[in-house]
């Protein structure tokens, strides 16, 4: 297995972990702040933004489970979420 295959495998594992974290959080309605580790709450009735009442950290529900400096473009490598022709 070469370096590229290993990197692609790690990327798949990371994406799967993110999906599982989000799914478990959704089922349990229990979101944990990635800064202080305490339970986060929804900002309002729309339930699209999570706010930590202890440290003030906030994150959009669609970005929950990603690291601070991560971006969907980094995970999926394109803006539309699908692999490019070169990756296929």
Asked if 78 and 84 count as a contact pair (C-beta separation under 8 A), the reply is yes
At a CB cut-off of 8 Å and minimum separation 6, what does 80 contact? none
pLDDT (tens digit, 0 to 9) for every residue of the chain, 88 residues total? 566 566 667 778 888 887 888 888 888 888 988 888 889 999 999 999 999 999 999 999 888 877 654 555 555 554 455 556 666 5
Residues 69-87: pLDDT tens digits? 455 555 555 445 555 666 6
Helix, strand or coil for residue 24? helix
CA 71 to chain centroid, in Å, comes to: 8
Calpha distance 8→61 (Å, rounded): 26
Domain limits, the chain:
3-76
pTM of the predicted model as reported, rounded to 2 decimal places: 0.56
At a CB cut-off of 8 Å and minimum separation 6, what does 34 contact? 57, 59, 67, 68
pLDDT of residue 53: 95
């Amino acid at each position: 297995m070469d370096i590229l295959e290993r990197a692609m495998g790690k990327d798949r594992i990371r994406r799967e972990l993110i999906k599982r974290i989000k799914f478990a959080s959704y089922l349990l309605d229990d979101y944990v702040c990635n800064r202080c580790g305490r339970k986060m709450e929804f900002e309002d009735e729309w339930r699209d933004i999570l706010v930590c009442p202890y440290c003030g950290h906030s994150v959009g529900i669609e970005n929950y489970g990603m690291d601070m400096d991560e971006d969907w473009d980094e995970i999926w490598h394109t803006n539309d979420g699908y692999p490019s022709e070169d990756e296929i």
